[in-house]
Amino acid sequence: MQTLIFLWSLLLMPGPQYSDAAIYRCDNGKIMLKSDATLEVIEAQSHKLRGAVDFSTNSFAWTVEIRSF
């Protein structure tokens, strides 16, 4: 959760400060998820989160290996 808050705070920072910046990458992130459906609750976590943030285009992408849950 702290990582997610940190990433959102980066996205909300002013753009000109990062206009010449490269793409920022993360290869060792952690993800926790919870699906609270009517029939079952699924909880999972992984330390295989990988992603990138590009401030010049205000875009980001994240991937997680399904086998890592």
Q: What is the pLDDT of residues 50-61, one digit of tens each?
A: 999 988 888 989
pTM: 0.53
* pLDDT per position as a tens digit, 11-35: 555 554 545 568 888 888 888 989 9
Is 57 exposed, middle or buried, given 0-12, 13-18 or 19+ CB atoms closer than 10 A? exposed
Number of domains in the chain: 1
Find the domain containing 17 and state its range. Answer: 2-68
Q: Check if the beta carbon of residue 47 is closer than 8 Å to that of residue 3.
A: no
